[in-house]
Amino acid sequence: MSDDWRDDGIEAEPFDVDDDVRKEREPGRVFGIDVAELIDGMARPAILRALQKSVRDVANEVVDAEVEAQLDPTVIEELQAQAATAARRSVAAALDELDEPADEEPELYFGSVDEFVRGYLLPNYRRRVDGQRVLWAAQWWKYAEAVARLDALWRAWEHLRQDAQTGMSVWFRDHAEHHMSILLSADGPFAAAGEGKERENTNEKGQPLPYIAPPEGLFPDVRCCRSGTVSE
């Protein structure tokens, strides 16, 4: 094939832009933006910030000078004395708070769960017990779950009795009714107690719940552990 077809390259010839295309740039504007207006808008806030800083610096110097002029040795001594007095009072108050005894736990009204059952529960929670549908055991202390529930009733009563307004209402509603309904139920802790010997586990309407005293020493008075003395 002949090499006559080859070309060393295409040379672009310059061409003039038509006068209709070329537009002259307006004086003072770049891409349609007024340069002077832009600079003016940026300069004013900068000038204001500089003026505010200068005023603050001058004001601070004046205030510092005035305070220093007012704080003569007599005033400084008075300030030191007042500061020392205030500090001593704060320290004394903090030490007094540390010396205050912690709130003592209220003394128990009943010394044991047995005393609570005898002294409060039996006289105040009377239910007809027939030994069949409604159960209770005169020897309640032989039933572990019953002892645990009655002990919980006692502890809750000791706490809520401190509330003279609604304490007892809360105790009956949230504690007594809950635990006693389980204790007295036919499938509760006393399910095996039945009527007992000579119907010892039954009573008549209006009578206290059946009760037989536990062995001596089974429920010691815990108040002696708090006060250091044995309660009678």
Dist CA 147 CA 153 (whole Å): 10
- Within a domain: residue 108? no
Instruction: State the pLDDT at residue 13.
Output: 58
Instruction: State the pLDDT at residue 22.
Output: 47
- Domain range holding 68? 32-85
Instruction: State the pLDDT at residue 105.
Output: 78
Dist CA 152 CA 158 (whole Å): 10
* 125 and 42 part of one domain: no
Q: How many folded domains does the chain comprise? A: 2
- 27 CB burial (10 A radius; 0-12, 13-18, 19+): exposed
Q: Is 34 helix (H, G, I), strand (E, B) or coil?
A: strand
* 79 and 118 part of one domain: no
- Within a domain: residue 3? no
* 138 and 206 part of one domain: yes
Dist CA 22 CA 157 (whole Å): 101
Instruction: State the pLDDT at residue 111.
Output: 97
The Cα angle at residue 148 between residues 143 and 154, in degrees rounded to 5: 125
* 76 and 130 part of one domain: no
* 57 and 126 part of one domain: no
* 127 and 220 part of one domain: yes
- Each residue's pLDDT, cut to its tens digit, for the chain (232 residues) gives 555 555 555 555 555 545 554 456 667 677 667 777 777 777 788 888 888 888 888 888 887 777 777 777 777 777 777 888 788 778 778 777 776 666 677 899 999 999 999 999 999 999 999 999 999 999 999 999 999 999 999 999 999 999 999 999 999 999 999 999 999 999 999 999 999 999 999 999 999 999 999 999 999 999 976 655 444 4
- The rounded Cα 91 to chain-centroid distance in angstroms is 29
Instruction: State the pLDDT at residue 175.
Output: 97
* 79 and 135 part of one domain: no
* 118 and 210 part of one domain: yes
Instruction: State the pLDDT at residue 231.
Output: 44
* 47 and 131 part of one domain: no
Dist CA 29 CA 100 (whole Å): 81
What sign for the dihedral angle of Cα 148, 151, 157, 159?
negative
